[in-house]
Amino acid sequence: MKKLFFTLTILFSFVLSAQIVVFQPVHVPADKINQFLNIELNYSKKIAQDAVNTGELEYWILLESTNPAPDGFNYIWVNAYKDIATAVNKGSWWNNSKKAVGVETPILYSSFAGLKPDRRYYYKMEQEIQPRGDFEYVILNFTNTTEVQKHLEEMDQYVIPHFKKTMSKHGMMAWGSASKITPQGDDVATMMTYDSYDTLEHVMEHLSGEGVIGGLDFDRLTPIQWSMRPVMRIKGVTGPKQ
């Protein structure tokens, strides 16, 4: 587990160099979870690593929801690419399963018939505070604000300096923001931020308005209405070899 955290810490330092990050939530039925994790961690991860080695992918992460709704999305695939061209033209790297793990793609993923994947959400990375240590949990904050650029400017001026001063005291290990590329529309998020933490306790402090949030001058910030703030746990990760 320690090795996983160390690897994840290294990988998140590639977030800004990986300009495009694609999220795809999926609902995995309870009776399929063990099978799903077996395929993802023992096969998909290796296929992803092969894609990283050939330059098709920057990193791959599997996130698990800590508190999903009964029929809601309980896992998220996260794929990062160096640019839009790679994301568009090399975004089906899992079809290389025969070369990477010796199993044809339709056969490998045939048991995924009961899964309910959502569409893919493409984001452009905008800002980050690079990782300062190991972490296991990530808060994903989504909003459909119409003032993305204004929020980014205020985060640069107020939020990032505040977090950098206080994060080490409260278990925050990394932070970043991204603007939505697609899909766009009235009912979907326009930007997101992520808060990475070492423990679930520190996550809960953050969400309750304590910890690193304490002392932040909200009077200087344009209010943000978060549409969703799932707490995710890292289950698997792969990327550039160190």
pLDDT tens per residue across all 242 residues of the chain: 444 444 455 455 444 455 899 999 999 999 999 999 999 999 999 999 999 999 999 999 999 999 999 999 999 999 999 999 999 998 899 999 999 999 999 999 988 888 999 999 999 999 999 988 889 999 999 999 999 999 999 999 999 999 999 999 999 999 999 999 999 987 889 999 999 999 999 999 999 999 999 999 999 999 999 999 999 999 999 988 74
The pLDDT value recorded for residue 17 is 52
Quick one: 212 and 147 in the same domain? Answer: yes
Task: Clarify whether residues 151 and 88 are in a common domain.
Answer: no
182-217 in b/e form (b: 16+ CB < 10 A) is: eeeeeeebbbbbbbbbbeeebbebbeeeebbbeeee
* Statement to judge: residues 106 and 149 lie in one domain: no
- Which pLDDT belongs to residue 114? 87
116 lies in the same domain as 135: no
26 and 64 both lie in a single domain: yes
Report yes or no on 240 lying in a domain. no
CATH for 101: 3.30.70.100
242 is a domain residue: no
Single-letter code of the amino acid located at 176: G
Q: Do 131 and 115 reside in the same domain of the chain?
A: no
- Residue 107 sits in the same domain as residue 140: no
Q: Are residues 155 and 112 in the same domain?
A: no
Task: With respect to residue 22, please indicate whether it lies within any of the assigned structural domains.
Answer: yes
Question: Residue for token digits 């090399």?
Answer: 90
What is the length of the chain? 242
- Which residue range is the domain that position 200 belongs to? 126-232
User: How much is the pLDDT for 158?
Assistant: 97
Q: Do 117 and 132 have their domain in common?
A: no
Token output for 49 = 């690593």
Q: Choose one of 121, 146, 173: the last residue of a domain.
A: 121
* Per-residue confidence (pLDDT) for residue 173, from 0 to 100: 95
Q: What is the pTM of this model?
A: 0.91
Same domain, 88 and 106: yes
Last residue of a domain, one of 89, 121, 153: 121
How many domains does the structure of the chain reveal? 2
- Domain end call among 90, 121, 152: 121
Nearest CA-CA partner of 63 in 81, 75, 45, 46: 75
Residues 107 and 57 in one domain: yes
Angle at 241 between CA 79 and CA 172, to 5 degrees: 65
* Per-residue pLDDT, 113: 83
